[in-house]
Amino acid sequence: MTHFLHTEADLQAALQQLIAADPRLVPVAEKAGTFALRRREAGFAGLCAIVCGQQLSTASATAIRNRLFAAFDPFHHDAVLRARTDKLKRLGLSAPKIKSIKAIGKAVSEGLIDLDSVGNMDADLAHAALTALYGVGPWTADIYLLFCLGHSDAWPAGDLALQESARIAFGLRKRPDVKKFVKMAEAWRPWRGVAAHLLWAYYHAVKRREGISLDPAKSSSPKISKKKSKTKAKKNGR
């Protein structure tokens, strides 16, 4: 059964079930403290906003996203498809991101995917449907499922902040790689998305920095050199 986190009450109820299933998370939750459910707009606009944020700082991503949405009011996939490449470049979008949002817009326009309803699928099937879109890697897909659709079981195993958080929380010698992290999270089904929210909050508490969604392609990730970051990005299909 697919669960969704639409309200703070949903998050808190799911968190209690998660902790009951895995008592190791009790001290993690105590350290994390109270944290809020973060939701974003779904659909084409929501996915494009995440694409805008790939490999960029939060401030840069926000600036580009705001310019993009302001240039198309209402923001609709058909309008973006008709837009000239030079116009989109002036908004700050790189050539690969322009290609990505146009490809996504085409898929939506042709009915190849319904971004609003994809969350009704099992998390793994929804993940597969999203990553079939050009320009949507595993991290982007899971961030869309978590923050735009509120899917309770999405698991961004390639997220560097989550990996670092788990390393600290469970006293691991090094951050778990994607394969190990996926296996570790099996015990948290169907609340893996809740575990992600918890671990991000824990990361923020122990690191005293923003811990939400560190794209594995970002060179500013914790204790990761630019060279290593690029290597991880390739491994995660970005």
By residue range, what is the domain housing residue 229?
A: 8-39+153-235
Q: How far apart are CA 232 and CA 180, in angstroms?
A: 14
Identify whether the C-beta of residue 148 lies closer than 8 Å to the C-beta of residue 163: no
- Per-residue pLDDT reduced to its tens digit, 218-227: 434 444 333 4
Total structural domains in the chain?
2
Q: Could you tell me the CATH number of the domain that includes residue 113?
A: 1.10.340.30
| 160 and 218 assigned to the same domain | yes
**Tokens 């703070």 correspond to what residue?**
8
Instruction: Give the list of residues 6+ apart from residue 5 with CB closer than 8 angstroms, or none.
Output: 11, 14, 37, 150, 151, 152, 193, 194, 197
Structure tokens, 208: 């005293």
Q: How far apart are CA 168 and CA 183, in angstroms?
A: 18
Q: Sorting pLDDT into bands at 50, 70 and 90, what band is 117?
A: confident
Q: Sorting pLDDT into bands at 50, 70 and 90, what band is 53?
A: confident
| 124 and 143 assigned to the same domain | yes
Return the percentage of the chain with pLDDT > 90, whole number.
74
Residue 90 lies in a domain: yes
| 135 and 158 assigned to the same domain | no
Identify whether the C-beta of residue 158 lies closer than 8 Å to the C-beta of residue 232: yes
129, 148, 167 - which closes a domain: 148
> What mean pLDDT is predicted for residues 122-127?
90
Residue 42: φ, ψ to 5°: -95, -175
95, 113, 148 - which closes a domain: 148
- Per-residue pLDDT reduced to its tens digit, 166-225: 999 999 999 999 999 999 999 999 999 999 999 999 999 998 755 455 556 543 444 433
- The pLDDT mean for the chain works out to 88
| 53 and 138 assigned to the same domain | yes
Q: Could you tell me the CATH number of the domain that includes residue 182?
A: 1.10.1670.40
116, 132, 148 - which closes a domain: 148
Identify whether the C-beta of residue 46 lies closer than 8 Å to the C-beta of residue 135: no
| 82 and 96 assigned to the same domain | yes
Return the closest-CA partner of residue 77 out of 114, 118, 129.
114
Residue 4: φ, ψ to 5°: -130, 150
| 73 and 18 assigned to the same domain | no
pTM of the shown model: 0.84
Structure tokens, 41: 């707009």
Return the percentage of the chain with pLDDT > 70, whole number.
87
Angle between helices 192-207 and 8-21 (to 10 degrees): 90
